[in-house]
Structure 1
Protein backbone atom coordinates (compact mmCIF):
# COMPACT_ATOMS: atom_id res chain seq x y z
CA UNK A 1 0.00 0.00 0.00
CA UNK A 2 1.28 3.47 -0.84
CA UNK A 3 0.90 6.59 1.25
CA UNK A 4 -2.35 7.54 -0.49
CA UNK A 5 -4.89 9.95 1.01
CA UNK A 6 -8.41 10.45 -0.30
CA UNK A 7 -10.41 13.60 0.43
CA UNK A 8 -14.15 13.44 -0.34
CA UNK A 9 -16.48 16.44 -0.25
CA UNK A 10 -19.91 17.46 -1.58
CA UNK A 11 -20.16 19.55 -4.75
CA UNK A 12 -23.08 21.16 -6.58
CA UNK A 13 -26.45 19.72 -5.55
CA UNK A 14 -25.57 16.03 -5.22
CA UNK A 15 -22.10 15.41 -6.70
CA UNK A 16 -19.04 14.38 -4.76
CA UNK A 17 -15.57 15.70 -5.40
CA UNK A 18 -12.56 13.49 -4.75
CA UNK A 19 -8.92 14.45 -4.34
CA UNK A 20 -6.32 11.71 -4.13
CA UNK A 21 -2.85 12.55 -2.87
CA UNK A 22 0.33 10.51 -3.06
CA UNK A 23 2.51 11.64 -0.17
CA UNK A 24 5.75 10.20 -1.52
CA UNK A 25 5.63 12.13 -4.79
CA UNK A 26 3.52 15.07 -3.61
CA UNK A 27 1.19 14.56 -6.58
CA UNK A 28 -2.56 15.14 -6.30
CA UNK A 29 -5.32 14.19 -8.72
CA UNK A 30 -8.90 15.36 -8.79
CA UNK A 31 -11.38 12.76 -9.97
CA UNK A 32 -13.54 14.79 -12.36
CA UNK A 33 -14.13 18.52 -11.93
CA UNK A 34 -17.75 19.15 -10.88
CA UNK A 35 -17.03 22.43 -9.04
CA UNK A 36 -13.59 23.93 -9.70
CA UNK A 37 -13.79 26.57 -6.98
CA UNK A 38 -14.69 24.00 -4.33
CA UNK A 39 -12.06 21.56 -5.57
CA UNK A 40 -9.32 24.20 -5.51
CA UNK A 41 -10.40 25.29 -2.03
CA UNK A 42 -10.31 21.73 -0.72
CA UNK A 43 -6.85 21.19 -2.18
CA UNK A 44 -5.62 24.40 -0.58
CA UNK A 45 -7.11 23.41 2.78
CA UNK A 46 -5.25 20.09 2.59
CA UNK A 47 -2.01 21.76 1.55
CA UNK A 48 -2.01 19.87 -1.76
CA UNK A 49 -1.34 21.09 -5.30
CA UNK A 50 -3.45 19.48 -8.02
CA UNK A 51 -1.17 17.99 -10.68
CA UNK A 52 -3.62 15.77 -12.57
CA UNK A 53 -7.29 15.70 -13.56
CA UNK A 54 -8.75 12.23 -14.11
CA UNK A 55 -12.04 12.44 -16.02
CA UNK A 56 -14.49 9.53 -16.12
CA UNK A 57 -16.74 10.97 -18.86
CA UNK A 58 -17.69 14.13 -20.69
CA UNK A 59 -20.78 15.35 -18.81
CA UNK A 60 -20.49 18.94 -17.60
CA UNK A 61 -20.72 18.03 -13.92
CA UNK A 62 -17.66 15.82 -14.43
CA UNK A 63 -15.47 17.68 -16.92
CA UNK A 64 -16.88 21.20 -16.88
CA UNK A 65 -14.26 22.50 -14.46
CA UNK A 66 -11.25 21.16 -16.35
CA UNK A 67 -10.21 24.45 -17.93
CA UNK A 68 -10.46 26.44 -14.72
CA UNK A 69 -8.42 23.96 -12.71
CA UNK A 70 -5.81 23.60 -15.43
CA UNK A 71 -5.52 27.39 -15.66
CA UNK A 72 -5.02 27.63 -11.91
CA UNK A 73 -2.62 24.72 -11.45
CA UNK A 74 -1.25 23.55 -14.81
CA UNK A 75 -2.70 20.11 -14.08
CA UNK A 76 -2.45 17.40 -16.71
CA UNK A 77 -5.84 16.24 -18.05
CA UNK A 78 -6.29 12.46 -18.29
CA UNK A 79 -9.57 11.46 -19.94
CA UNK A 80 -11.20 8.71 -21.99
CA UNK A 81 -9.87 8.51 -25.54
CA UNK A 82 -13.38 7.44 -26.55
CA UNK A 83 -14.67 10.93 -25.71
CA UNK A 84 -11.72 13.01 -26.89
CA UNK A 85 -14.01 14.92 -29.24
CA UNK A 86 -16.16 16.03 -26.28
CA UNK A 87 -13.54 16.80 -23.62
CA UNK A 88 -11.29 19.64 -24.80
CA UNK A 89 -7.63 19.91 -23.92
CA UNK A 90 -6.88 16.28 -23.07
CA UNK A 91 -3.18 15.75 -22.40
CA UNK A 92 -3.35 11.98 -21.96
CA UNK A 93 -6.18 10.07 -23.65
CA UNK A 94 -6.59 6.63 -22.10
CA UNK A 95 -8.35 3.43 -23.12
CA UNK A 96 -9.32 0.12 -21.57
CA UNK A 97 -6.38 -1.57 -19.87
CA UNK A 98 -4.15 1.51 -19.80
CA UNK A 99 -2.34 2.51 -16.62
CA UNK A 100 -2.36 5.98 -15.09
CA UNK A 101 0.15 6.86 -12.38
CA UNK A 102 0.02 9.18 -9.41
CA UNK A 103 3.57 8.96 -8.17
CA UNK A 104 4.04 5.22 -7.70
CA UNK A 105 0.31 4.58 -7.31
CA UNK A 106 -1.16 2.83 -10.34
CA UNK A 107 -4.72 3.19 -11.61
CA UNK A 108 -5.95 0.76 -14.24
CA UNK A 109 -8.50 2.06 -16.73
CA UNK A 110 -11.67 0.01 -17.19
CA UNK A 111 -13.93 0.89 -20.14
CA UNK A 112 -17.53 0.99 -18.88
CA UNK A 113 -19.85 2.27 -21.63
CA UNK A 114 -23.54 2.63 -20.86
CA UNK A 115 -24.11 5.94 -19.10
CA UNK A 116 -22.11 7.54 -21.90
CA UNK A 117 -20.53 5.84 -24.89
CA UNK A 118 -16.98 6.37 -23.64
CA UNK A 119 -17.22 6.23 -19.83
CA UNK A 120 -14.22 4.86 -17.95
CA UNK A 121 -13.44 3.83 -14.38
CA UNK A 122 -10.13 4.26 -12.53
CA UNK A 123 -9.34 1.13 -10.51
CA UNK A 124 -6.42 1.31 -8.06
CA UNK A 125 -5.78 -2.39 -7.43
CA UNK A 126 -2.93 -1.82 -4.99
CA UNK A 127 -5.22 0.34 -2.86
CA UNK A 128 -8.39 -1.75 -3.32
CA UNK A 129 -10.17 1.43 -4.42
CA UNK A 130 -12.08 2.31 -7.59
CA UNK A 131 -13.52 5.62 -8.78
CA UNK A 132 -16.54 4.61 -10.84
CA UNK A 133 -18.06 7.93 -11.92
CA UNK A 134 -21.66 7.42 -12.99
CA UNK A 135 -21.47 3.74 -13.99
CA UNK A 136 -22.18 2.17 -10.60
CA UNK A 137 -23.92 3.89 -7.70
CA UNK A 138 -24.59 2.71 -4.18
CA UNK A 139 -27.75 0.61 -4.77
CA UNK A 140 -28.02 1.90 -8.32
CA UNK A 141 -26.39 2.50 -11.68
CA UNK A 142 -26.23 5.35 -14.16
CA UNK A 143 -28.96 6.19 -16.62
CA UNK A 144 -28.39 4.92 -20.14
CA UNK A 145 -28.02 8.27 -21.87
CA UNK A 146 -25.91 6.96 -24.73
CA UNK A 147 -25.37 3.23 -24.28
CA UNK A 148 -27.49 0.11 -24.49
CA UNK A 149 -28.64 -2.24 -21.72
CA UNK A 150 -26.20 -4.84 -23.03
CA UNK A 151 -23.30 -2.39 -22.79
CA UNK A 152 -24.21 -1.31 -19.28
CA UNK A 153 -24.78 -4.83 -18.04
CA UNK A 154 -21.37 -5.84 -19.44
CA UNK A 155 -19.79 -2.82 -17.73
CA UNK A 156 -21.42 -3.59 -14.38
CA UNK A 157 -20.43 -7.24 -14.68
CA UNK A 158 -16.80 -6.20 -15.09
CA UNK A 159 -16.99 -4.08 -11.94
CA UNK A 160 -18.67 -6.92 -10.05
CA UNK A 161 -15.58 -9.04 -10.78
CA UNK A 162 -13.38 -6.72 -8.71
CA UNK A 163 -12.43 -8.06 -5.28
CA UNK A 164 -15.32 -7.90 -2.82
CA UNK A 165 -13.45 -5.56 -0.50
CA UNK A 166 -12.82 -2.99 -3.23
CA UNK A 167 -14.00 0.39 -1.96
CA UNK A 168 -16.22 2.09 -4.53
CA UNK A 169 -16.32 5.87 -4.82
CA UNK A 170 -19.32 6.85 -6.95
CA UNK A 171 -19.92 10.41 -8.02
CA UNK A 172 -23.37 11.24 -6.62
CA UNK A 173 -25.34 11.01 -3.38
CA UNK A 174 -28.32 9.10 -4.80
CA UNK A 175 -28.42 6.23 -2.33
CA UNK A 176 -31.57 7.08 -0.40
CA UNK A 177 -33.69 7.28 -3.56
CA UNK A 178 -31.94 4.22 -4.96
CA UNK A 179 -32.74 2.23 -1.82
CA UNK A 180 -36.42 3.04 -2.05
CA UNK A 181 -36.52 1.84 -5.63
CA UNK A 182 -34.45 -1.26 -4.88
CA UNK A 183 -36.96 -2.32 -2.24
CA UNK A 184 -39.71 -2.14 -4.84
CA UNK A 185 -38.09 -4.89 -6.93
CA UNK A 186 -36.35 -6.90 -4.18
CA UNK A 187 -38.37 -6.30 -1.00
CA UNK A 188 -37.56 -9.56 0.78
CA UNK A 189 -33.76 -9.33 0.56
CA UNK A 190 -32.40 -9.08 4.15
CA UNK A 191 -29.12 -7.54 2.98
CA UNK A 192 -31.02 -4.83 1.13
CA UNK A 193 -33.36 -4.22 4.06
CA UNK A 194 -30.41 -3.71 6.40
CA UNK A 195 -28.57 -1.54 3.88
CA UNK A 196 -31.64 0.64 3.31
CA UNK A 197 -32.15 1.13 7.04
CA UNK A 198 -28.52 2.19 7.44
CA UNK A 199 -28.87 4.64 4.55
CA UNK A 200 -31.97 6.24 6.06
CA UNK A 201 -30.21 6.66 9.40
CA UNK A 202 -27.07 8.11 7.86
CA UNK A 203 -28.95 10.59 5.71
CA UNK A 204 -31.05 11.65 8.72
CA UNK A 205 -27.76 12.57 10.38
CA UNK A 206 -26.57 14.39 7.26
CA UNK A 207 -23.87 11.81 6.59
CA UNK A 208 -22.61 10.56 3.23
CA UNK A 209 -23.49 7.07 2.04
CA UNK A 210 -20.48 6.98 -0.29
CA UNK A 211 -18.16 5.09 -0.50
CA UNK A 212 -19.55 1.58 -0.64
CA UNK A 213 -17.94 -1.78 -1.44
CA UNK A 214 -18.33 -4.35 -4.18
CA UNK A 215 -19.49 -6.87 -1.57
CA UNK A 216 -22.28 -4.62 -0.32
CA UNK A 217 -23.46 -3.90 -3.85
CA UNK A 218 -23.40 -7.54 -4.96
CA UNK A 219 -25.55 -8.42 -1.95
CA UNK A 220 -28.12 -5.65 -2.25
CA UNK A 221 -27.97 -3.67 -5.50
CA UNK A 222 -30.64 -5.00 -7.88
CA UNK A 223 -28.71 -3.76 -10.91
CA UNK A 224 -25.98 -6.30 -10.08
CA UNK A 225 -28.52 -9.06 -9.36
CA UNK A 226 -30.56 -9.78 -12.52
CA UNK A 227 -29.88 -13.49 -12.07
CA UNK A 228 -31.60 -13.50 -8.69
CA UNK A 229 -34.69 -15.72 -8.75
CA UNK A 230 -36.76 -13.55 -6.42
CA UNK A 231 -36.19 -10.46 -8.58
CA UNK A 232 -36.97 -12.38 -11.77
CA UNK A 233 -40.18 -13.75 -10.31
CA UNK A 234 -41.27 -10.33 -9.10
CA UNK A 235 -40.69 -8.87 -12.57
CA UNK A 236 -42.35 -11.80 -14.34
CA UNK A 237 -39.14 -12.58 -16.21
CA UNK A 238 -38.24 -16.01 -14.87
CA UNK A 239 -36.76 -17.26 -18.15
CA UNK A 240 -35.33 -14.02 -19.55
CA UNK A 241 -31.66 -13.28 -20.11
CA UNK A 242 -29.72 -11.35 -17.51
CA UNK A 243 -29.52 -8.45 -19.96
CA UNK A 244 -33.29 -8.36 -20.41
CA UNK A 245 -33.87 -8.49 -16.65
CA UNK A 246 -31.34 -5.69 -16.15
CA UNK A 247 -33.04 -3.64 -18.89
CA UNK A 248 -36.42 -4.03 -17.16
CA UNK A 249 -34.98 -2.97 -13.80
CA UNK A 250 -33.42 0.10 -15.45
CA UNK A 251 -36.71 0.90 -17.24
CA UNK A 252 -38.62 0.76 -13.97
CA UNK A 253 -36.08 2.95 -12.21
CA UNK A 254 -36.38 5.55 -14.97
CA UNK A 255 -40.09 6.00 -14.22
CA UNK A 256 -40.04 5.30 -10.47
Structure 2
Protein backbone atom coordinates (compact mmCIF):
# COMPACT_ATOMS: atom_id res chain seq x y z
CA UNK A 1 0.00 0.00 0.00
CA UNK A 2 1.32 3.39 -1.04
CA UNK A 3 -0.01 6.59 0.55
CA UNK A 4 0.61 10.05 -0.90
CA UNK A 5 -0.47 13.02 1.25
CA UNK A 6 -1.72 15.99 -0.78
CA UNK A 7 -1.66 19.39 1.00
CA UNK A 8 -4.54 21.79 0.34
CA UNK A 9 -5.02 25.45 1.32
CA UNK A 10 -1.62 25.40 3.04
CA UNK A 11 -1.22 28.38 5.34
CA UNK A 12 -4.96 28.82 5.93
CA UNK A 13 -7.01 25.65 6.49
CA UNK A 14 -3.95 23.36 6.25
CA UNK A 15 -5.97 20.41 4.94
CA UNK A 16 -4.74 17.01 3.83
CA UNK A 17 -6.15 14.83 1.07
CA UNK A 18 -4.69 11.35 0.64
CA UNK A 19 -4.11 9.15 -2.40
CA UNK A 20 -4.05 5.47 -1.36
CA UNK A 21 -2.78 2.85 -3.82
CA UNK A 22 -2.94 -0.93 -3.66
CA UNK A 23 0.53 -2.09 -4.73
CA UNK A 24 -0.62 -5.30 -6.42
CA UNK A 25 -3.71 -4.23 -8.36
CA UNK A 26 -2.69 -0.57 -8.82
CA UNK A 27 -6.24 0.38 -7.85
CA UNK A 28 -6.33 3.71 -6.02
CA UNK A 29 -8.72 5.83 -4.02
CA UNK A 30 -8.63 9.44 -2.91
CA UNK A 31 -9.71 10.57 0.56
CA UNK A 32 -11.22 14.03 1.21
CA UNK A 33 -10.16 15.69 -2.09
CA UNK A 34 -11.84 18.98 -1.22
CA UNK A 35 -9.86 21.35 -3.44
CA UNK A 36 -9.79 19.99 -7.01
CA UNK A 37 -7.40 22.72 -8.18
CA UNK A 38 -4.68 21.25 -5.96
CA UNK A 39 -5.72 17.60 -6.06
CA UNK A 40 -6.43 16.92 -9.74
CA UNK A 41 -2.90 17.79 -11.00
CA UNK A 42 -1.45 15.36 -8.45
CA UNK A 43 -3.92 12.67 -9.51
CA UNK A 44 -3.21 13.15 -13.21
CA UNK A 45 0.54 12.93 -12.64
CA UNK A 46 0.17 9.84 -10.46
CA UNK A 47 -2.14 8.07 -12.90
CA UNK A 48 0.07 8.83 -15.89
CA UNK A 49 3.41 7.97 -14.26
CA UNK A 50 2.35 4.99 -12.16
CA UNK A 51 -0.48 3.58 -14.31
CA UNK A 52 -3.01 3.81 -11.50
CA UNK A 53 -6.70 3.04 -11.74
CA UNK A 54 -8.64 5.55 -9.64
CA UNK A 55 -11.65 3.58 -8.42
CA UNK A 56 -13.13 5.59 -5.53
CA UNK A 57 -13.47 8.88 -3.71
CA UNK A 58 -14.32 8.60 -0.01
CA UNK A 59 -14.91 11.21 2.67
CA UNK A 60 -14.44 11.22 6.42
CA UNK A 61 -17.38 13.65 6.82
CA UNK A 62 -19.51 16.16 4.95
CA UNK A 63 -17.76 19.50 5.71
CA UNK A 64 -16.99 21.46 2.55
CA UNK A 65 -13.24 21.43 3.22
CA UNK A 66 -13.31 17.62 3.06
CA UNK A 67 -16.12 16.72 0.65
CA UNK A 68 -16.34 19.87 -1.46
CA UNK A 69 -14.48 18.43 -4.46
CA UNK A 70 -16.47 15.23 -4.93
CA UNK A 71 -18.53 16.34 -7.93
CA UNK A 72 -15.41 16.94 -10.00
CA UNK A 73 -14.07 13.41 -9.56
CA UNK A 74 -15.94 10.34 -10.84
CA UNK A 75 -16.28 7.51 -8.26
CA UNK A 76 -16.64 3.82 -9.25
CA UNK A 77 -16.54 0.98 -6.68
CA UNK A 78 -13.86 0.60 -4.00
CA UNK A 79 -11.65 -2.49 -4.37
CA UNK A 80 -8.65 -1.66 -2.19
CA UNK A 81 -7.25 -4.79 -0.48
CA UNK A 82 -8.17 -5.42 3.17
CA UNK A 83 -9.98 -2.11 3.70
CA UNK A 84 -12.44 -1.76 6.56
CA UNK A 85 -14.23 1.06 8.33
CA UNK A 86 -13.93 1.80 12.04
CA UNK A 87 -17.71 2.18 12.26
CA UNK A 88 -17.68 2.80 16.00
CA UNK A 89 -15.95 6.13 15.43
CA UNK A 90 -19.11 7.71 14.00
CA UNK A 91 -20.86 10.58 15.81
CA UNK A 92 -17.77 12.58 16.60
CA UNK A 93 -17.03 16.11 15.50
CA UNK A 94 -20.15 15.94 13.32
CA UNK A 95 -22.77 13.20 13.41
CA UNK A 96 -21.56 11.31 10.34
CA UNK A 97 -17.79 11.35 10.93
CA UNK A 98 -16.01 8.14 9.93
CA UNK A 99 -12.42 7.00 10.43
CA UNK A 100 -11.04 4.54 7.87
CA UNK A 101 -8.54 1.86 8.94
CA UNK A 102 -6.57 0.10 6.19
CA UNK A 103 -4.22 -2.86 6.55
CA UNK A 104 -2.03 -4.26 3.80
CA UNK A 105 0.24 -6.96 5.20
CA UNK A 106 2.16 -5.42 8.08
CA UNK A 107 1.34 -1.87 6.96
CA UNK A 108 -1.46 -0.21 8.92
CA UNK A 109 -3.00 3.25 8.49
CA UNK A 110 -6.00 5.12 9.84
CA UNK A 111 -7.46 8.22 8.19
CA UNK A 112 -9.16 10.26 10.87
CA UNK A 113 -10.53 13.42 9.22
CA UNK A 114 -11.45 15.96 11.88
CA UNK A 115 -11.78 13.36 14.67
CA UNK A 116 -8.16 12.73 15.69
CA UNK A 117 -5.26 15.06 14.93
CA UNK A 118 -1.62 14.61 15.83
CA UNK A 119 -1.64 15.83 19.42
CA UNK A 120 -5.30 16.88 19.41
CA UNK A 121 -8.89 16.24 18.38
CA UNK A 122 -11.70 18.05 16.60
CA UNK A 123 -14.23 20.45 18.07
CA UNK A 124 -17.58 19.08 19.23
CA UNK A 125 -19.81 20.77 16.65
CA UNK A 126 -22.54 18.12 16.77
CA UNK A 127 -21.09 15.31 18.89
CA UNK A 128 -20.41 15.29 22.63
CA UNK A 129 -17.41 14.92 24.92
CA UNK A 130 -18.56 11.42 25.81
CA UNK A 131 -18.73 10.37 22.16
CA UNK A 132 -15.27 11.78 21.49
CA UNK A 133 -13.91 10.01 24.57
CA UNK A 134 -15.29 6.69 23.36
CA UNK A 135 -14.04 7.26 19.81
CA UNK A 136 -10.50 8.24 20.82
CA UNK A 137 -9.88 6.23 23.95
CA UNK A 138 -11.92 3.10 23.31
CA UNK A 139 -11.90 2.55 19.56
CA UNK A 140 -8.98 4.40 17.97
CA UNK A 141 -6.74 3.65 20.95
CA UNK A 142 -7.43 -0.05 20.43
CA UNK A 143 -5.81 -0.07 16.99
CA UNK A 144 -2.34 -1.66 16.76
CA UNK A 145 0.48 0.52 18.12
CA UNK A 146 2.20 0.59 14.72
CA UNK A 147 -0.83 2.14 13.01
CA UNK A 148 0.12 5.41 11.28
CA UNK A 149 -2.37 8.25 11.78
CA UNK A 150 -3.26 10.42 8.76
CA UNK A 151 -5.39 13.37 10.00
CA UNK A 152 -7.50 15.76 7.97
CA UNK A 153 -5.55 18.86 9.03
CA UNK A 154 -1.97 19.74 9.93
CA UNK A 155 -2.45 21.21 13.40
CA UNK A 156 0.52 19.51 15.07
CA UNK A 157 2.44 22.58 16.19
CA UNK A 158 -0.55 24.40 17.71
CA UNK A 159 -1.70 21.17 19.38
CA UNK A 160 1.77 20.63 20.82
CA UNK A 161 1.90 24.15 22.24
CA UNK A 162 -1.48 23.63 23.91
CA UNK A 163 -0.44 20.23 25.24
CA UNK A 164 2.69 21.68 26.82
CA UNK A 165 0.55 24.34 28.52
CA UNK A 166 -1.46 21.50 30.10
CA UNK A 167 1.18 18.84 30.65
CA UNK A 168 4.96 19.15 30.83
CA UNK A 169 6.14 15.72 29.72
CA UNK A 170 8.92 14.43 27.52
CA UNK A 171 6.67 12.82 24.86
CA UNK A 172 4.64 16.03 24.54
CA UNK A 173 7.80 18.13 24.26
CA UNK A 174 9.04 15.76 21.54
CA UNK A 175 5.85 16.39 19.59
CA UNK A 176 6.72 20.08 19.29
CA UNK A 177 9.85 18.95 17.44
CA UNK A 178 7.71 16.71 15.20
CA UNK A 179 9.26 13.52 16.58
CA UNK A 180 7.41 10.29 15.85
CA UNK A 181 9.40 8.21 18.30
CA UNK A 182 6.48 7.63 20.68
CA UNK A 183 2.94 6.27 20.20
CA UNK A 184 0.30 8.88 19.41
CA UNK A 185 -1.44 8.30 22.75
CA UNK A 186 1.61 9.60 24.63
CA UNK A 187 1.57 12.84 22.64
CA UNK A 188 -2.15 13.51 22.89
CA UNK A 189 -3.60 14.96 26.09
CA UNK A 190 -7.10 14.05 24.84
CA UNK A 191 -6.04 10.39 25.00
CA UNK A 192 -4.58 10.62 28.52
CA UNK A 193 -7.69 11.49 30.50
CA UNK A 194 -6.64 9.34 33.48
CA UNK A 195 -3.29 11.15 33.86
CA UNK A 196 -3.22 12.80 37.33
CA UNK A 197 -1.42 15.87 35.96
CA UNK A 198 -4.09 16.40 33.30
CA UNK A 199 -6.83 15.92 35.86
CA UNK A 200 -5.20 18.56 38.07
CA UNK A 201 -4.93 20.95 35.14
CA UNK A 202 -8.62 20.56 34.31
CA UNK A 203 -9.92 20.26 37.87
CA UNK A 204 -11.87 17.16 36.82
CA UNK A 205 -11.44 13.42 37.39
CA UNK A 206 -14.27 11.82 35.41
CA UNK A 207 -12.89 11.03 31.93
CA UNK A 208 -15.81 12.61 30.07
CA UNK A 209 -15.59 15.76 32.19
CA UNK A 210 -11.83 15.91 31.61
CA UNK A 211 -12.42 15.59 27.85
CA UNK A 212 -15.03 18.36 27.89
CA UNK A 213 -12.84 20.68 29.93
CA UNK A 214 -9.78 20.05 27.77
CA UNK A 215 -11.75 20.89 24.64
CA UNK A 216 -13.02 24.10 26.26
CA UNK A 217 -9.45 25.01 27.21
CA UNK A 218 -8.22 24.29 23.68
CA UNK A 219 -11.01 26.38 22.14
CA UNK A 220 -9.88 29.35 24.25
CA UNK A 221 -6.14 28.76 23.88
CA UNK A 222 -4.26 31.44 21.98
Short-chain TM bin: 0.7 to 0.9
What corresponds to 1:52 in structure 2?
Answer: 56
What corresponds to 1:204 in structure 2?
Answer: none
Q: Which residue, out of 140, 163, 169, partners 1:159?
A: 140
Residues 58-77 of structure 1: pairs in structure 2 closer than 5 A: 58-70=62-74, 75-76=75-76
How does the TM-score come out when normalised to structure 2?
0.88
CA distance in 2, matches of 1:37, 1:25: 27
CA distance in 2, matches of 1:163, 1:8: 21
Which runs of 5 or more residues in structure 2 are unaligned?
none
Q: Which residue, out of 115, 130, 133, partners 1:150?
A: 130
Q: Which residue, out of 135, 139, 144, partners 2:119?
A: 139
1:187-225 deviations in whole A, cap 9, x for unaligned?
Answer: 2x11111221x13xxxxxxxxx8xx69x53211210001
Q: Is 2:103 the counterpart of 1:125?
A: yes
Q: Which residue, out of 179, 183, 208, partners 1:216?
A: 183
What secondary structure, in the 3-state scheme, does the structure 2 residue paired with 1:119 have?
A: coil
What secondary structure, in the 3-state scheme, does the structure 1 residue paired with 2:73 have?
A: helix
8 Å CA contact retained: 1:116, 1:147: yes
Please state how far the C-alpha of 1:49 moved relative to its aligned partner.
4.0
What corresponds to 1:233 in structure 2?
Answer: 200
Which runs of 5 or more residues in structure 1 are unaligned?
78-99, 200-208
CA distance in 2, matches of 1:44, 1:107: 26
Please state how far the C-alpha of 1:128 moved relative to its aligned partner.
1.1
Number of equivalent positions = 210
Q: Which residue, out of 201, 204, 211, partners 1:246?
A: 211
What secondary structure, in the 3-state scheme, does the structure 2 residue paired with 1:33 have?
A: coil
* Distance of aligned partners of 1:221 and 1:147 in 2 relative to their CA distance in 1, 3 Å threshold: same
8 Å CA contact retained: 1:218, 1:225: yes
Please state how far the C-alpha of 1:23 moved relative to its aligned partner.
3.2
CA distance in 2, matches of 1:52, 1:242: 38
CA distance in 1, matches of 2:71, 2:2: 24
1:108-153 deviations in whole A, cap 9, x for unaligned?
Answer: 3333222001100110134311111110000000011110111111
1:15-70 deviations in whole A, cap 9, x for unaligned?
Answer: 01110111322211001122123222111111234220111100001111000112
CA distance in 2, matches of 1:129, 1:166: 5
